[in-house]
Amino acid sequence: MSEPGFAPRPTLEAVAARAGVSRATASRVVNGSEGVRAPLVERVRRAVDELGYVPNQAARTLVTRRNDAIAVVVAEPETRFFTDPFFAQQVRGISRELTAHDNQLVLLLTEGTADYQRVGRYLAGGHVDGALIFSLHAEDELPALARRAGVPTVIGGRPGWSDDRTLYVDCDNRGGARDAVRYLLGLGRRQVAHIAGPLDQTASVDRLDGFRDVLPDADPRLIVEGDFTPEGGARAMTALLERVPDLDAVFVASDVMASGALRVLRTVGRRVPEDVAVVGFDDMVSVAEWTDPPLTTVHQDIEEMGRLMAGLLLRTLEPPAQGGAEPVRAASIVTPTRLVVRASA
C-alpha cells in the first residue's frame, strides 16, 4: 500500500498529450475557463477520465497562492475542545460551509501557549488561506500571530479588545442573559444567583453584564465564577448553597455547567424547579434535553454561528469585486438568542 515508486499520478502534461492539445488548453478545461471549443473540451475531459487525472494541489497553490483550505485554531486544551459539545457544533457548521465551497478544514489544536509558535509557523507557511480562531481568553496572542502571518482571520466570540478591523461572530450574550434573569424574576423568584463562566472570556463577562443589567443591586455573594465544565458548575453550586442557603433561582452561564449544578441540587435534596429554578445558556440539545429535569435555557444557534464564521471568512478572501462600486466591507455578526423553556424553570 505504501510501496514507494509505484504508479506516478498523471500530470496535466500527460492529459494534454493524450487529448492532443497543449497544456494550456488542458488547464483551461480542467479549470472550467471560458473559450475552449466543445470538441476539445470533450477530448480533454475524456483524457482526464481515462487517466484518472487529479490536479496536483501543491503545484497549483504555488502559482495561484490559493490553498482552498482554512485553518480552525482552537486556543483551548484539547480536552475541552473534544469534551464540550459547543465546539463540536461550531466545527460542524464550519465544516458544512467550507465543504459547500470546496474548501478544506485544517484543525489546529493547541495545548497551551507552547504550541503557538508551531501554529504561527503553520499559518505563515502559507498552508491556508485564512483562519478561524476560537475560545480566546484575555490577552491571547493568537490573533496577533495570525495577523503577523498575513492570514485573514475571523474570531469565534467577541474579542476582548475592540478595533473594527477584527471580524468576529458572536451571539447576543448580554441580551440572552437579560432574558433569562427577567424570566426568573417573572416566575416570582427573589434570590437569583449566577454561575458565571471564566471571566477572562468575553462571553462570560457579557452574560454577567446581562445579569447585572437586570439585577444591578444583586448581593455579590450571589455571583460565583465557574469554568464551563460540569465539575466547575457543581463546585460553584456548592459554594452558592453555602453562602446563600435561601437562594431560589440560578442563572448558569452554560448548559454544561448547569448539568453539574443540577447534580448538586439533586444530591442535597433541593427540588428543581420547585425549590430552585435553574436556567442555563447555550441550549446544547445533547445536554439540555437530557438533564434531570430537562433544562430551561437560552438558545443560541451554534452551528449557524460556525457557518457564519466560515462564510464571512470566505467572503473576505474573495477578490475585491472589480465593479467600480466600493466593496461592501465585511462586518462582524451578532446573532440573536431566545429562551427555551423546559422543566428546570
* Binding region for a second copy (CB under 8 A): 1-2, 4, 6-7, 9, 52, 54-59, 61-62, 67, 69, 78-79, 81-83, 85, 87-89, 91-92, 95-96, 99, 102, 104-109, 115, 118, 121-122, 124-127, 130, 147-150, 152-153, 165-167, 230, 286, 290, 316-317, 319-320
Give whichever of 162 and 246 is closer to a second copy, judged by the CB atom.
162
Give the one entry of a second copy, DNA, none that residue 134 binds, where binding means its C-beta sits below a cut-off of 5 to 8 angstroms depending on kind. none
Residue 11 contact among DNA, a second copy, none, beta carbon within 5 to 8 Å by kind: DNA
User: Among 242, 294, 256, which Cα is nearest to 272's?
Assistant: 294
d(CA 219, CA 318) in angstroms, rounded, equals 51
Please give the helix or strand (H or E) that residue 310 lies within, else none.
helix 302-317
Minimum CB separation of residue 233 from a second copy in Å reads 12
Kindly report whether the peptide bond that precedes residue 4 is cis, defined as omega within 30 degrees of 0.
no
DSSP string, 151-172: --EEEES--SS--TTSEEEEE-
Alpha-carbon distance of 314 to 303, in angstroms, equals 17
Contact call for residue 46 and DNA (CB under 7 A): no
Nearer to DNA, 56 or 79 (CB): 56
Q: Are strands 296-299 and 249-252 parallel, antiparallel or unpaired?
A: unpaired
CB of 221 to a second copy, least distance (A): 28
Q: Which does 124 bind (CB under 5 to 8 A by kind): a second copy, DNA, none?
A: a second copy
Give me the residue label for grid cell 486544551.
Answer: 77
How far separated are the first and last CA of the chain, in Å rounded? Answer: 58
What span, in angstroms and rounded, lies between the C-alpha atoms of 305 and 286? Answer: 18
Residue count (the chain): 345
Q: Report in angstroms how near the CB of residue 25 gets to a second copy at its nearest.
A: 21
Q: Measured from the CB atom, is 92 or 212 closer to a second copy?
A: 92
Binding site for DNA (CB under 7 A): 8-9, 11-13, 20-25, 27-28, 30-31, 35-37, 39-40, 53, 55-56, 59-60, 62-64
